[in-house]
Amino acid sequence: MWQAQVFTLYPEFYPGPLSKGLYGKALAKNLWNLKVINIRDAAEDKHKTVDDTPYGGGSGMLIKADVLAKSLDKNKVKGEKIIYLSPKGKKFDQYYARELSKQKSVSLVCGHFEGVDERILSTRNIEEVSIGDYVLSGGETASFVIIDSVLRLLPGVLGNEYSKKEESFENGLLEYPQYTKPQIWEEKAVPEVLLSGDHNKIKHWRLSQSEAITRVRRPDLWQKYKKN
């Protein structure tokens, strides 16, 4: 079983989209587990304070290192990777998702306000991970992105195991275009080759489409693909 532990100030957001469809079924079958930990439960004063103003001034608040540490120390699983969702982190991608899918348990710390006291990161061996070059109001939506991308890699979660191998990024390319019925729709026909029944021809067509799309849309991926 693969487990995600989420540390958050907004436990009510979960399980949200992760409880729906195939993920909900997989959860019921114990293929994965979600543990939601309210950081606020670790606050000790009577107001349950979790944040404070930054030293050196500036707007906004920071989640306190002592509160977060208490929450992490109480709940972390021995040997697991701890991730802090952060725009300053290493960029998340399909390779990273695959790595996480091989772990037994992963902790995801969701920041809020201006973030967290920096000292928590080094003292608790936390890796900073970003889902992209934009700023969110909190790490929760980013945690959904990470968990979603990992869950679909776990054996037994998606129906058709094979289809994953053909998807964008799996071979370093973006996916080829796909079509379903009707064969002609708004005067647009499905490419002839897909109706040919010639699997070899179809395979070649799909690869050339993947290559063409990747070359135009993602020169960065194309350069890497050409090198390999």
Q: How far is the CB of 212 from ligand SAH (least distance, A)?
A: 30
Q: CA 119, CA 65: separation in Å to the nearest integer?
A: 7
Figure out which of the listed residues 32, 64, 111, 176 binds ligand SAH, where binding follows CB under 6 A. 111
Which of 114, 124, 194, 212 is in the footprint of ligand SAH by CB under 6 A? 114
Q: Is 210 in the site for ligand SAH (CB under 6 A)?
A: no
Q: Which of 87, 190, 193, 202 binds ligand SAH (CB under 6 A)?
A: 87
* Per-residue x/- track, 123-142, ligand SAH (CB under 6 A): -------xxx-xxxxxx--x
- Give the x-and-dash track for 90-109 against ligand SAH (CB under 6 A): --------------------
End-to-end CA distance of the chain: 34
95-107 exposure pattern, b = at least 16 Cβ within 10 A, e = fewer: ebbeebbeeebbb
CB closer to ligand SAH, 112 vs 206: 112
Confirm if 202 and 146 have CB atoms less than 8 A apart: no
